[in-house]
Structure 1
């Protein structure tokens, strides 16, 4: 992992610093700030190259893609073409959100194979499932079926040199006969193959505690979505550091979570415009959290 810190020659001094502040062990090794490109969904399709240039200038070094389709590829660019644009701007697409709807519902692996090929071409580490439509997540049996399919897709990803992750919203925390869908997914998936991208906003919005999830499922949350809750309207997002979520306490437990990548995401409620918002979030994280 690339760091922005200079190497500390005096080992004894470095060790003392880490002992004095345990979270420093995390901050010294994880300096890449990522952006979920869905944040810029209004700008990106209009100007992919210009938008990614602005992402890099705002301070981001990693991104998470979204919106891939076999028809339009990545906003009109083939995966190989997108990889070059990313490289030209010093960006790495370490993860991507892929809609594997038909596979989750009927087991058709064509979508999975296409997504794997795209993810490999842009040299991602994770292939992340981003969403499950409401008709297919109504009860315990639905979630068990999803878990079974996740295990299957994860095996395909491993064979291709990728890792599979599942991204949550709030609906996974709804109870079905006293059990949440998220509990089922955690229990029924292979912990060595299926990882989770924990959306901190949606966990908290659903009334749950990320720290409790970290403790009970150590090492499974390899990625996070970092987005803040607006102080006046908790249904809205805001720039990281401007809302109600205590990110310092969460980042202090990053190691317990297993987190190796995180991505800023803001879906709405931009203070000035989306570019100013993502820069504000990046600046806050750089100065206060890592």
Structure 2
């Protein structure tokens, strides 16, 4: 018989273990596998409802949106309409990629404000900046962008959101002894601006995610888990089928600060894209979390 006293003791022991081992807390929730919906950019505009049904059936509970614009919203759907479809499939849009118009370059906040409103409706935790246009990748521009990210992060915080920045490989280009990514890390407020580390692009650029975790603990709240094709490193492949060993990264979840991760595959699907996302989710569930 389980007495009230024994129940309290046992519950306390479990809680103590989870606090002592944050990675245990993460591993206890194996279903929280996310998908960056850009992976399905060919399918979504054709049928959002059917596509998201297949995402849920493939083992995903989180998604990251992309493609918002003031004119077309999300593939012709308003944030309210999209939220309804997500809810019907028990999917949470914990993050979204928003280009923010010209805000990073000239400070115009029109699209930033619209993005924040959409993110609030979708119940995002993070509003994520996905890209810097090529003409604005100089050292001087990265300093301006860092300042604008701080400004956007304050606006996000006031709206109950967090701001994150997603990398590619160009941020790691050495320019006169420094990289754009170093500027973004060093000149943004670490209590306001977070980072979504695209593991594929870090590896492709010749850098080590573990080194970034160690040097910037706690700042990488999200990851893109995207594998590298063995025969052509410019291409992606299903998680577990490529060159990247993700196990060392998942062992350092605590140091990274990661709370959400998203599978992404932009090309080179083994069969079709739905088969690929299921293959990736199955591998992660069995081998990484």
TM-score class, shorter-chain normalisation, is over 0.9
d(CA) in 2 for partners of 1:39 and 1:174?
26
Q: Which runs of 4+ in 1 moved over 4 A?
A: 9-18
Q: CA deviation at 1:176?
A: 1.1
Counterpart for residue 97 of structure 1: 97
Give the 3 Å change call, closer, same or farther, for CA 110–288 of structure 1 in structure 2. Answer: same
Distance 2:180 2:16 in 1: 43
Q: Does 1:253 align with 2:252?
A: yes
Secondary structure, in 3 states, of the residue corresponding to 2:64? strand
Q: Does 1:81 align with 2:68?
A: no
2:118 matched to which residue of 1? 118
The residue that corresponds to 2:6 in the other structure is none
For the 8 Å contact 1:127–1:165, the answer to whether it is kept is: yes
Q: How does 1:19-58 map to 2 (within 5 A)?
A: 23-29=23-29, 31-58=31-58
Q: Are the equivalent residues in 2 in contact too, given 1:101–1:132 (CA < 8 A)?
A: no
Report whether the alignment pairs 1:155 with 2:161.
no
Quote the residue 1:218 is aligned against: 217
Rounded to whole Å, the distance in 1 between the matches of 2:60 and 2:29 is 16
Q: Distance in 2 between matches of 1:23 and 1:123?
A: 25
Cα distance in structure 1, aligned partners of 2:56 and 2:281: 11
Residues of 1 paired with 2:17 and 2:280: CA distance?
27
User: Displacement of 1:101 after TM fit?
Assistant: 3.7
State how far apart, in whole Å, the 2-side matches of 1:223 and 1:82 are.
22
Contact 1:168–1:198 under 8 Å retained in 2: yes
Contact 1:101–1:133 (8 Å) recurs in 2: no
Q: TM-score, normalised by structure 2?
A: 0.93
User: What residue is the counterpart of 1:175 in the other structure?
Assistant: 174
> Using the alignment, how far apart are the partners of 1:11 and 1:159 within structure 2?
36
2:4 aligns with none
Equivalent pairs counted in the alignment come to: 280
Q: Per-residue displacement from partner, 1:217-245 (whole Å, max 9, x unpaired)?
A: 00000000001001111111000011111
Once the two structures are superposed, the pairs formed by residues 107-146 of structure 1 within 5 Å of their partners are 107-137=107-137, 139-146=138-145
Q: For residue 71 of structure 1, what is the aligned residue in structure 2?
A: 71
Q: Are 1:288 and 2:287 matched, yes or no?
A: yes
Q: Secondary structure at the match of 2:286?
A: helix
Could you say what the CA RMSD is over the residues aligned between the two structures, in angstroms? 2.0
Shift of 1:267: 0.3
* C-alpha displacement of 1:24: 3.8
Offset at residue 27 of structure 1 (A) = 1.1
Residue in structure 2 matched with residue 197 of structure 1 by the alignment: 196
CA contact (8 A) 1:26 1:255 kept: no
CA separation of 1:201/1:52 partners in 2, compared to 1, >3 Å: closer, same or farther? same
Measured after TM superposition, the shift of residue 31 of structure 1 is 4.0
Aligned to 1:267: 266
1:236-286 deviations in Å (ceiling 9; x for gaps): 100001111111110000110000000000000000010000000000001
Determine helix, strand or coil for the equivalent of 1:155: helix
* Deviation readout 1:188-229 (Å, 9 max, x if unpaired): 000000000000000000000000000000000000000100
TM-score w.r.t. structure 1 length? Answer: 0.92
Matched with 1:61 is 61
Q: What is the aligned partner in structure 2 of residue 4 from structure 1?
A: none
- Alignment check: 8 A CA contact 2:31 2:59 kept: no
Native 8 Å contact 1:215 1:256 kept in 2: yes
Contact 1:86 1:92 in 2 (8 A): yes
Give the gaps of 5 or more residues in structure 2: 1-8
